[in-house]
Amino acid sequence: MIKHISTYRVMIVMLAAMLLVISCQKKYPGNVESADEVVLKSIKIVNAGASGNETVQGVVDEVNKTISFPRIDPATNFTAIKFQAEMSNGAVLDHDAYTFNFNEGESAKSQIIKVVNNKRFREYSVTLRLLIPVFGADFTKPTITDYTNNTLGNPLYPDFTGQLTRWTGFDGQQVLVVARTATGPHLLRVDDLKNNVINRIPLNLTGVSGGTYAYSSGAQVNGHTYICNLSTSAASALKIYHWSDPSQPPTVIGQIIPANSGMVGARYGDNMSVNLDQNGNGYMFFGDNNGGAVNIRDILRVRVTNYTTLSDPTSLSAHAGVTAWMTMTQVPNTGDYILTGYAAPIRLVSESASLSFALSNTAVPLNGTDARVFTFNQERYLIMTGAARTAADAVVLYVYDITQGSTTKEALEIFNEKADKSWVYQYPLLGPSNGAPGTQSGFYITKDAEGKDQKLTLFAASADAGFVIIDFPKKTLDD
């Protein structure tokens, strides 16, 4: 009897709990049928163009609730855009006209419109884009040929180990590798590299001798190859070699003894910047390396005529923070030069290294070196590659848009004052820090049959990090 009573009690408790749960459940309203549909079947702009009489058909994406249009004449009155839409019975747009406020520099604008039917509505995001010319490179579409530590590409190029390759050259057609390895200095065809083929073209080194290192730095310019030795005393000649054919012995085009040329430094050849026009006229620059201190003593400038004639060696004053891995690159078709070193801000100088303007220390990474300024497809860019002297320094190719401004100086001034100094493209080489971070950058512009800019190619290299070649097409309208 006691057993049955206990069973009854358990059943009563369970029944009470079930009733409590049922009574506590929230009751939701059921679906209410309505004839007030809010379906957008089609839509078009009926007052586009300067005269307000052009029709532009839109595309409705019902899944994502978006509406897109072909690019629209910028002369359109965007303060009173009128749509004509085919909708479900009884549905209307929430406004007769819409305002799309384009800010300066914007080429697209989006806003929400509603399809309304009594109390029901559906929202769509409408995007209008301007039919305006586009300039510059499309940095969203890189084609990368990588021989760096970055695992996205090929293995590290084998000569970039043990700080044995500290300098390179690039002219768009070939890469110069000034290797102190058993391989020795050699050229690589860019077309081969893009097909993942390493076909070394050794330089004929007959007669190349002298200096602490017989070959230290170099440059590749318009198919001409230059290499210098490393001179580590004021009485030791800085020898400069030239090849127009890598299979032939080079010509010694310069033997400059610092003590006899008015130089105040005693070590040249750790770096080499060669700036020549299509006729082979311009300057070479070599920064003294005073043995590890932050500042170099001076910069050796040498005039170049017709690719092979050197003259007028001159001592130029150094700038604070410019180090042994300095570079001095010319802004094409101007008298402006970009002076950099991994411990100094980017400086705009003359051919005599006289200061015109300097970016702030925080405008771009301070370790950026071999900075270059050039114009592609009517946009002006600043590029540089970070040198990794310390573990805190990143070996990265940076690209900045500095189009605004009528001159290089004005462009750098405007960029310096911007709150947002973000790069438009970067690529990490993932180089380790080392005591000899020879680092380079480069660019090449491919023209079409009409002589217009078609493709931009960038180059970056650094000791123990390898090198990378990146192609970018020019920007084009997507419809």
Residues 328 and 423 reside in one and the same domain? yes
pLDDT surpassing 50 at residue 2: no
pLDDT at residue 32, as a whole number: 52
Residues 56 and 196 reside in one and the same domain? no
pLDDT surpassing 80 at residue 1: no
Per-residue tokens: 173? 């057609």
Residues 270 and 338 reside in one and the same domain? yes
Across the chain, mean pLDDT equals: 93
* pLDDT band for position 457 (cuts 50, 70, 90): very high
- Supply angle C-alpha 417, 419, 421, rounded to 5: 85
| Of 129, 160, 177, the domain-final residue | 129
pLDDT average, residue stretch 75-89: 97
* pLDDT band for position 68 (cuts 50, 70, 90): very high
Contact 347, 361 (CB under 8 A): no
Tell me the C-alpha distance between 443 and 278, whole Å: 15
pLDDT average, residue stretch 429-457: 96
pLDDT average, residue stretch 202-216: 97
What are 393-426's pLDDT values in tens digits?
999 999 999 999 999 999 999 999 999 999 999 9
CATH at residue 176: 2.120.10.30
Give a yes or no: residue 153 inside a domain.
yes
pLDDT surpassing 80 at residue 195: yes
CA distances in angstroms from 321 to 78, 339, 358, 365, listed in the order given: 52, 11, 12, 14
CA gyration radius, the chain = 33
Residues 328 and 403 reside in one and the same domain? yes
Residues 326 and 271 reside in one and the same domain? yes
Residues 124 and 151 reside in one and the same domain? no
Residues 213 and 320 reside in one and the same domain? yes
| Residue 342 neighbours by CB under 8 Å, 6+ apart | 323, 325, 366, 367, 368, 369, 386, 387, 389, 393, 437, 439
Contact 272, 228 (CB under 8 A): yes
pLDDT surpassing 70 at residue 293: no
- Lowest-confidence range among 12-21, 66-75, 436-445? 12-21
Give a yes or no: residue 35 inside a domain.
no
Q: Is 194 helix (H, G, I), strand (E, B) or coil?
A: helix
* pLDDT band for position 349 (cuts 50, 70, 90): very high
* pLDDT band for position 477 (cuts 50, 70, 90): confident
Residues 159 and 296 reside in one and the same domain? yes
Give a yes or no: residue 287 inside a domain.
yes
pLDDT at residue 183, as a whole number: 97
Q: What is the count of structural domains for the chain?
A: 2
pLDDT surpassing 90 at residue 145: yes
Give a yes or no: residue 447 inside a domain.
yes
Give a yes or no: residue 33 inside a domain.
no
| Residue 250 neighbours by CB under 8 Å, 6+ apart | 203, 204, 205, 206, 207, 208, 225, 227, 241, 242, 243
Residues 103 and 226 reside in one and the same domain? no
What are 6-32's pLDDT values in tens digits?
444 545 445 555 555 455 555 555 545
> What's CA 37's distance to the chain center, in Å?
50
Identify the bridge partners of residue 309 per DSSP, sorted by sequence position. Answer: 305
Tell me the C-alpha distance between 442 and 468, whole Å: 10
Residues 114 and 154 reside in one and the same domain? no
pLDDT at residue 290, as a whole number: 75
Residues 204 and 346 reside in one and the same domain? yes
pLDDT at residue 129, as a whole number: 95
| Of 85, 101, 129, the domain-final residue | 129
pLDDT average, residue stretch 235-263: 97
What are 100-115's pLDDT values in tens digits?
999 887 889 999 999 9
pLDDT at residue 4, as a whole number: 46
Identify the domain containing residue 87 by its residue range: 40-129
**3-state SS, one letter per residue, for 407-449:** CHHHHHHHHHHCCCCCCCEEEECCCCCCCCCCEEEEEEEEECC
pLDDT at residue 5, as a whole number: 44
pLDDT at residue 105, as a whole number: 77
Give a yes or no: residue 460 inside a domain.
yes
| Of 88, 107, 129, the domain-final residue | 129
Residues 123 and 147 reside in one and the same domain? no
Contact 461, 439 (CB under 8 A): yes
